[in-house]
Structure 1
Amino acid sequence: MSFDASELRMLAKDLGEAPKAAGHLTRAVVRKTAKDVEHTAKLLAPVDTGNLKGSIGTSDLRAMGTSGSIEAEVRATADYAIYQEMGTSRMAAQPFMGPAADKHSPAFAEAMAQIMARAVSGG
Protein backbone atom coordinates (compact mmCIF):
# COMPACT_ATOMS: atom_id res chain seq x y z
CA MET A 1 0.00 0.00 0.00
CA SER A 2 1.33 3.45 -0.89
CA PHE A 3 0.34 6.82 0.48
CA ASP A 4 0.74 10.11 -1.38
CA ALA A 5 1.03 12.89 1.17
CA SER A 6 1.38 15.73 -1.35
CA GLU A 7 -2.26 16.81 -1.01
CA LEU A 8 -2.01 16.61 2.75
CA ARG A 9 1.10 18.81 2.67
CA MET A 10 -0.72 21.28 0.39
CA LEU A 11 -3.69 21.37 2.78
CA ALA A 12 -1.37 21.98 5.74
CA LYS A 13 0.32 24.82 3.85
CA ASP A 14 -3.06 26.36 2.97
CA LEU A 15 -4.27 26.07 6.56
CA GLY A 16 -1.05 27.65 7.79
CA GLU A 17 -1.55 30.64 5.49
CA ALA A 18 -5.30 30.98 6.17
CA PRO A 19 -4.98 33.07 9.37
CA LYS A 20 -2.72 35.57 7.63
CA ALA A 21 -5.03 35.92 4.63
CA ALA A 22 -8.12 36.02 6.85
CA GLY A 23 -6.48 38.70 9.00
CA HIS A 24 -5.84 40.95 6.01
CA LEU A 25 -9.39 40.50 4.76
CA THR A 26 -10.85 41.01 8.23
CA ARG A 27 -8.95 44.27 8.67
CA ALA A 28 -10.24 45.47 5.30
CA VAL A 29 -13.84 44.61 6.20
CA VAL A 30 -13.62 46.27 9.62
CA ARG A 31 -11.98 49.37 8.09
CA LYS A 32 -14.65 49.68 5.37
CA THR A 33 -17.53 49.07 7.75
CA ALA A 34 -16.24 51.68 10.21
CA LYS A 35 -15.96 54.28 7.46
CA ASP A 36 -19.42 53.36 6.14
CA VAL A 37 -20.94 53.69 9.63
CA GLU A 38 -19.19 57.04 10.11
CA HIS A 39 -20.51 58.34 6.78
CA THR A 40 -24.07 57.20 7.48
CA ALA A 41 -24.02 58.61 11.03
CA LYS A 42 -22.97 61.98 9.63
CA LEU A 43 -25.87 61.85 7.18
CA LEU A 44 -28.36 60.93 9.92
CA ALA A 45 -27.09 63.28 12.65
CA PRO A 46 -29.43 66.17 13.45
CA VAL A 47 -27.85 69.44 12.40
CA ASP A 48 -28.22 72.78 14.11
CA THR A 49 -24.71 74.20 14.20
CA GLY A 50 -22.92 71.24 12.59
CA ASN A 51 -20.89 70.58 15.73
CA LEU A 52 -22.43 67.13 16.31
CA LYS A 53 -21.95 66.05 12.71
CA GLY A 54 -18.37 67.35 12.77
CA SER A 55 -17.62 65.44 15.96
CA ILE A 56 -18.36 62.03 14.40
CA GLY A 57 -15.19 60.15 13.55
CA THR A 58 -13.46 56.79 13.41
CA SER A 59 -10.53 55.64 15.52
CA ASP A 60 -7.09 55.54 13.91
CA LEU A 61 -7.38 52.64 11.50
CA ARG A 62 -3.67 52.59 10.59
CA ALA A 63 -2.74 50.78 13.81
CA MET A 64 -5.49 48.18 13.51
CA GLY A 65 -4.25 44.70 14.24
CA THR A 66 -0.88 45.73 15.64
CA SER A 67 -1.93 44.94 19.21
CA GLY A 68 -3.43 41.59 18.26
CA SER A 69 -7.02 42.78 18.03
CA ILE A 70 -8.90 43.97 15.01
CA GLU A 71 -11.34 46.65 16.03
CA ALA A 72 -12.49 50.12 15.11
CA GLU A 73 -14.51 52.67 17.01
CA VAL A 74 -16.92 55.16 15.47
CA ARG A 75 -17.87 57.84 17.95
CA ALA A 76 -19.40 61.27 18.33
CA THR A 77 -17.38 63.41 20.70
CA ALA A 78 -19.83 66.29 21.11
CA ASP A 79 -20.76 66.40 24.79
CA TYR A 80 -24.49 66.31 23.97
CA ALA A 81 -24.31 63.43 21.45
CA ILE A 82 -25.72 60.90 23.92
CA TYR A 83 -28.75 63.12 24.56
CA GLN A 84 -29.45 63.37 20.82
CA GLU A 85 -29.04 59.61 20.42
CA MET A 86 -31.06 58.52 23.46
CA GLY A 87 -33.31 61.50 24.18
CA THR A 88 -34.08 63.04 27.55
CA SER A 89 -37.18 63.51 29.68
CA ARG A 90 -37.77 66.76 27.76
CA MET A 91 -36.59 65.81 24.30
CA ALA A 92 -37.34 62.90 21.98
CA ALA A 93 -34.41 60.85 20.78
CA GLN A 94 -32.96 61.60 17.37
CA PRO A 95 -30.79 58.51 16.94
CA PHE A 96 -28.00 58.54 14.38
CA MET A 97 -25.24 56.22 15.61
CA GLY A 98 -27.42 53.18 16.31
CA PRO A 99 -29.25 53.35 12.98
CA ALA A 100 -25.96 53.83 11.14
CA ALA A 101 -24.51 50.71 12.78
CA ASP A 102 -27.74 48.79 12.16
CA LYS A 103 -27.67 49.69 8.48
CA HIS A 104 -24.20 48.22 7.95
CA SER A 105 -24.41 45.20 10.29
CA PRO A 106 -25.85 42.76 7.71
CA ALA A 107 -23.14 43.51 5.14
CA PHE A 108 -20.46 43.21 7.84
CA ALA A 109 -21.82 39.86 9.03
CA GLU A 110 -22.02 38.55 5.46
CA ALA A 111 -18.45 39.65 4.66
CA MET A 112 -17.14 38.01 7.85
CA ALA A 113 -19.03 34.80 7.04
CA GLN A 114 -17.43 34.77 3.58
CA ILE A 115 -13.97 35.25 5.08
CA MET A 116 -14.55 32.35 7.47
CA ALA A 117 -15.87 30.11 4.70
CA ARG A 118 -12.88 30.99 2.55
CA ALA A 119 -10.43 30.32 5.38
CA VAL A 120 -12.02 26.97 6.19
CA SER A 121 -12.13 25.86 2.56
CA GLY A 122 -8.51 26.89 2.03
CA GLY A 123 -9.47 29.37 -0.71
Structure 2
Amino acid sequence: MDIDASDFNKLATSFTQAAANIGPGAQAVVRKTTLDVERDAKSFVPVDTGNLKSSIGHSDLRTVGQSGVLEAEVGPTAEYGVYVEFGTSRKGPAAFMGPALDRQTPVFTQAMEQLAERTANGGT
Protein backbone atom coordinates (compact mmCIF):
# COMPACT_ATOMS: atom_id res chain seq x y z
CA MET A 1 0.00 0.00 0.00
CA ASP A 2 1.37 3.40 -1.00
CA ILE A 3 0.50 6.48 1.01
CA ASP A 4 1.05 9.92 -0.41
CA ALA A 5 2.21 11.99 2.57
CA SER A 6 1.68 15.24 0.66
CA ASP A 7 -2.08 15.01 1.31
CA PHE A 8 -1.43 14.74 5.05
CA ASN A 9 0.94 17.70 4.85
CA LYS A 10 -1.71 19.76 3.03
CA LEU A 11 -4.28 18.85 5.68
CA ALA A 12 -1.91 19.75 8.50
CA THR A 13 -1.15 23.08 6.83
CA SER A 14 -4.86 23.73 6.40
CA PHE A 15 -5.50 23.08 10.13
CA THR A 16 -2.59 25.33 11.10
CA GLN A 17 -3.93 28.16 8.92
CA ALA A 18 -7.45 27.70 10.28
CA ALA A 19 -6.21 27.91 13.87
CA ALA A 20 -4.27 31.07 13.07
CA ASN A 21 -7.33 32.68 11.46
CA ILE A 22 -10.12 31.69 13.82
CA GLY A 23 -8.60 33.14 17.00
CA PRO A 24 -8.34 36.76 15.84
CA GLY A 25 -11.72 36.47 14.11
CA ALA A 26 -13.41 35.19 17.24
CA GLN A 27 -11.80 37.96 19.28
CA ALA A 28 -13.20 40.54 16.87
CA VAL A 29 -16.70 39.04 17.11
CA VAL A 30 -16.63 38.90 20.92
CA ARG A 31 -15.25 42.45 21.15
CA LYS A 32 -17.93 43.84 18.81
CA THR A 33 -20.70 41.98 20.63
CA THR A 34 -19.44 43.30 23.97
CA LEU A 35 -19.64 46.88 22.70
CA ASP A 36 -23.05 46.29 21.13
CA VAL A 37 -24.50 44.81 24.35
CA GLU A 38 -23.12 47.78 26.30
CA ARG A 39 -24.66 50.24 23.82
CA ASP A 40 -28.04 48.52 23.93
CA ALA A 41 -28.05 48.27 27.73
CA LYS A 42 -27.42 52.01 27.94
CA SER A 43 -30.30 52.65 25.57
CA PHE A 44 -32.68 50.33 27.48
CA VAL A 45 -31.86 51.35 31.06
CA PRO A 46 -34.39 53.60 32.80
CA VAL A 47 -32.87 56.97 33.58
CA ASP A 48 -33.57 58.98 36.72
CA THR A 49 -30.28 60.65 37.62
CA GLY A 50 -28.17 59.04 34.88
CA ASN A 51 -25.90 57.35 37.42
CA LEU A 52 -26.93 53.81 36.50
CA LYS A 53 -26.61 54.48 32.77
CA SER A 54 -23.17 56.02 33.13
CA SER A 55 -22.01 53.09 35.26
CA ILE A 56 -22.65 50.54 32.47
CA GLY A 57 -19.36 49.47 30.98
CA HIS A 58 -17.34 46.45 29.92
CA SER A 59 -14.17 44.64 30.90
CA ASP A 60 -11.27 43.99 28.60
CA LEU A 61 -11.45 40.85 26.50
CA ARG A 62 -9.55 38.02 28.17
CA THR A 63 -8.75 34.39 27.57
CA VAL A 64 -9.82 32.01 30.32
CA GLY A 65 -7.97 28.78 31.06
CA GLN A 66 -6.01 26.64 28.67
CA SER A 67 -8.98 26.03 26.38
CA GLY A 68 -8.77 29.56 24.97
CA VAL A 69 -12.31 30.57 25.99
CA LEU A 70 -12.83 34.28 25.36
CA GLU A 71 -14.64 36.32 27.97
CA ALA A 72 -15.73 39.90 28.57
CA GLU A 73 -18.15 41.28 31.14
CA VAL A 74 -20.75 43.95 30.51
CA GLY A 75 -22.83 45.57 33.20
CA PRO A 76 -23.30 48.40 35.65
CA THR A 77 -21.02 49.15 38.55
CA ALA A 78 -23.82 50.95 40.42
CA GLU A 79 -24.79 48.69 43.34
CA TYR A 80 -28.51 49.07 42.71
CA GLY A 81 -28.35 47.89 39.09
CA VAL A 82 -29.39 44.38 40.06
CA TYR A 83 -32.50 45.73 41.80
CA VAL A 84 -33.50 47.70 38.72
CA GLU A 85 -32.88 44.70 36.45
CA PHE A 86 -34.75 42.10 38.54
CA GLY A 87 -37.03 44.26 40.69
CA THR A 88 -37.71 44.16 44.41
CA SER A 89 -40.67 43.25 46.60
CA ARG A 90 -41.88 46.84 46.19
CA LYS A 91 -41.03 47.59 42.58
CA GLY A 92 -41.16 45.45 39.48
CA PRO A 93 -38.19 44.79 37.21
CA ALA A 94 -37.03 47.24 34.57
CA ALA A 95 -34.70 44.88 32.75
CA PHE A 96 -32.03 46.42 30.57
CA MET A 97 -29.12 43.94 30.58
CA GLY A 98 -31.21 40.89 29.69
CA PRO A 99 -32.91 42.56 26.73
CA ALA A 100 -29.57 43.92 25.51
CA LEU A 101 -28.07 40.43 25.58
CA ASP A 102 -31.19 38.93 23.99
CA ARG A 103 -30.98 41.44 21.16
CA GLN A 104 -27.33 40.68 20.40
CA THR A 105 -27.33 36.88 20.82
CA PRO A 106 -28.61 36.09 17.30
CA VAL A 107 -26.16 38.57 15.77
CA PHE A 108 -23.29 36.99 17.73
CA THR A 109 -24.35 33.47 16.74
CA GLN A 110 -24.58 34.40 13.07
CA ALA A 111 -21.17 36.11 13.12
CA MET A 112 -19.54 33.07 14.73
CA GLU A 113 -21.20 30.74 12.22
CA GLN A 114 -19.92 32.90 9.35
CA LEU A 115 -16.43 32.88 10.84
CA ALA A 116 -16.48 29.09 11.14
CA GLU A 117 -17.74 28.73 7.57
CA ARG A 118 -15.08 31.09 6.16
CA THR A 119 -12.39 29.28 8.12
CA ALA A 120 -13.61 25.86 6.96
CA ASN A 121 -13.56 27.09 3.37
CA GLY A 122 -10.01 28.36 3.68
CA GLY A 123 -10.88 32.04 3.95
CA THR A 124 -9.97 34.54 6.64
TM-score normalized by structure 1?
0.86
State how far apart, in whole Å, the 1-side matches of 2:8 and 2:60 are: 41
Contact 1:15 1:122 (C-alpha < 8 Å) held by counterparts? no
* Structure 1 segments unaligned to the other structure (5+ residues): none
Alpha-carbon distance, 1:5 to partner: 5.3
Alpha-carbon distance, 1:31 to partner: 0.1
State how far apart, in whole Å, the 1-side matches of 2:39 and 2:81 are: 16
1:1-123 equivalent positions in 2, closer than 5 A: 6=6, 8-61=8-61, 64-65=62-63, 68-123=68-123
Give the letter for the 1:92 counterpart. G
Classify 1:112/1:4 alpha carbon distance in 2 versus 1 (closer, same or farther; 3 Å): same
Q: Percent identity?
A: 50
Q: What SS does structure 1 have at the residue aligned with 2:89? A: coil
Contact 2:64 2:71 (C-alpha < 8 Å) held by counterparts? no
Alpha-carbon distance, 1:47 to partner: 0.5
Alpha-carbon distance, 1:69 to partner: 3.1
State how far apart, in whole Å, the 2-side matches of 1:69 and 1:7 are: 31
Contact 2:87 2:94 (C-alpha < 8 Å) held by counterparts? yes
Root-mean-square deviation (CA), in Å? 2.1
Alpha-carbon distance, 1:7 to partner: 5.1
TM-score normalized by structure 2?
0.85
Give the letter for the 1:118 counterpart. R
Alpha-carbon distance, 1:9 to partner: 2.9
* Structure 2 segments unaligned to the other structure (5+ residues): none
